[in-house]
Structure 1
Amino acid sequence: MAFEKNEISEADRIMKKYDTHDPFLIAKKANITVLEADMGNITYAIRNHYKRTDIITLNQTINFAWKNFVLAHELGHCYLHHGFSTTFYRNTPSSGMINWAEKEASTFAMEILDSQLREEDSYYQLTPFEKLDHLGLPYSLEDYLV
């Protein structure tokens, strides 16, 4: 069944398999097509799954740090939630509930991005907010740091 993988161990497995924690390099090595398009101010990315092929389209208007997170998030869907397409929307004040698939994909993404920081000597002295500052990400992602 598609939803039985642990997001942390799966992210670690993928990083080890492709010997990188760069989401763009992971996608390239995994033959996942990454495109960019202007998607307005509502959508961060769309992942389409068709005939065993994944295509991720990123919003070209978001900054590079956010693209890294969004791509890692969509890769999480590729590896954790096989067989269906997803759209990653911007946070809105009315969206207080986030479904389990989005939580898993965000935790997967933060495991990949946080692993970049682990190579630094000062990693274990950093607070969660300092880690997010270093990654260029908003504090709202603190809950996904492991």
Structure 2
Amino acid sequence: MERIFQTIDHLKARNAAYDPITLCKHLDIDILHLELGDILGFKTNFYGVSLIYVNQLLSPATARFIVAHELGHILLHQGIQPLFTQYLAHDHFISQFENEANQFAIILLLCNYYLTYRYEEAPEQLMEQIGLPTELRPLFLDTFEQLVENKQRLLHLLT
């Protein structure tokens, strides 16, 4: 999780924004909303140009979570191509990247939430506020617990 904190801290130093859509604009990453069927979203990178594709049928909060997740992949997993990870077919390898991108999205969106609304909510309400897909509830609760235990680190990101 330290790498995620460092990445978000670096973003703070450059821009002081935690909204993933604002960050994408600042980083020249285009977001395309398309009908993607059952796919929530994905990212591509061609010749150094990153694009995030988001299913246009998602609620605004869930779409924001997907943008934050894909931004996590772009910032944390530079140089790793999705087809390469699928070719390796190591579930642990792939799920490690997905968990890291999900944790990045959770922390980024919690920072954005706390800076925007400046009051605390119960974890269940926070999950809804940040558009968390229901299957990520256990990861959210674990990440939230780690943030509570490491409150100084979170406060550093918020000041």
Q: Which amino acid aligns with 1:82?
A: Q
Structure 1, unmatched stretches of 5+, are: 88-95
Number of aligned residue pairs: 131
Alignment match of 1:14 (pick from 11, 15, 32): 11
Which segment drifts farther, 27-36 or 14-23? 14-23
Q: Tell me the CA shift for residue 11 of structure 1.
A: 2.2
Q: Which amino acid aligns with 1:76?
A: G
C-alpha root-mean-square deviation of aligned residues, in Å? 2.3
Q: Secondary structure at the match of 1:43?
A: coil
Q: Which amino acid aligns with 1:66?
A: T
Residue in 2 that maps onto 1:33: 30
Residue in 1 that maps onto 2:64: 68
Residue in 2 that maps onto 1:102: 98
Residue in 1 that maps onto 2:152: none
Q: Following TM superposition, where does structure 1 have runs of at least 4 consecutive aligned residues deviating by more than 4 angstroms?
A: none
Structure with greater strand share of residues: 1
Structure 2, unmatched stretches of 5+, are: 84-90, 148-159
Looking at structure 2, the residues matched to 129 and 16 of structure 1 have their Cα atoms a distance apart, in angstroms, of 30
Looking at structure 2, the residues matched to 109 and 74 of structure 1 have their Cα atoms a distance apart, in angstroms, of 8
Please list, as runs of the form range in 1=range in 2, the aligned pairs for 1:1-146 lying within 5 A after superposition. 6-40=3-37, 42-86=38-82, 99-119=95-115, 120-123=117-120, 126-142=121-137, 143-144=139-140, 145=144, 146=147
TM-score, normalised to structure 1, is: 0.77
Q: Deviations over 1:92-135 (max 9, x none)?
A: xxxx9771000000000011110123234432xx3211211333
Identical-pair percentage: 25
